[in-house]
Amino acid sequence: MSIKGENKGFSLLDLLIVLMILGIMGILVAPQLNSMMTGDRLNEAAREMVSGLQYAQNLAVTHQRPFAFKVDVGGNWFRVLDYQFRDDTNPHHDGTPPVDSYGVVLNPVDKSWYSVDFDTAQTYKGVSIDSAPTEISFYPDGHSSLDDSVFVMSFGEDTRTITVDGTTGKIRVD
């Protein structure tokens, strides 16, 4: 015996209404998700650049000799260099720290040479270095070779500015 009026499912109209509501929500939320992802990519790239600057500074203090942070705006990359080997084509893998040709130091995190190319690194695709000094050197007391250094990075409409105080070596991101 069946009881009339007892439905065990959804009607086609119910499903269409739910799909329409989900579609409208997707249209409203998608731009916000995209802008959050844009900001995340740029923030991560800025953190990567700050890490490189801090590492060059730390190496200078630790090893009591100059280390450099070299930037190529046109090539969209940066490197951390041992200043004494920056013009040497020979690698010095047995040195402290180990360096490759032209003084590129070993990145202690991923055990590769400390060179970051924003054009080829998938994580930073679309991020660009808009302006930066060609090279900044850090000295054993932590100060840098330039009075104040400003690095500007962008992704779409968003920008991040990294400033290095030449006297104190303090690094700030805006």
16-53 pLDDT, tens digit per residue, is: 888 888 877 777 766 655 555 556 899 999 999 999 99
Distance CA 132, CA 30 (A): 33
In 16-157, DSSP assigns E strands to 67-72, 77-82, 115-117, 128-131, 135-138, 148-155
Each residue's pLDDT tens digit, 81-108 = 999 999 999 999 999 999 999 999 999 9
Q: Which residue blocks in 64-117 are alpha helix, DSSP H?
A: none
Q: Is residue 152 in some structural domain?
A: yes
Each residue's pLDDT tens digit, 109-129 = 999 999 999 999 999 999 999
Q: Is residue 2 in some structural domain?
A: no
157 lies in which domain range? 12-173
Asked whether 13 and 132 are in contact (CB, 8 A), the reply is no
Q: Is residue 38 in some structural domain?
A: yes
Q: Is the pTM of this model over 0.85?
A: no
Q: How big is the chain by its Cα radius of gyration, in Å?
A: 25
Domain count, the chain: 1
Residue 93's CATH number: 3.55.40.10
Q: Is residue 1 in some structural domain?
A: no
Each residue's pLDDT tens digit, 158-168 = 999 999 999 99
Q: Is residue 4 in some structural domain?
A: no
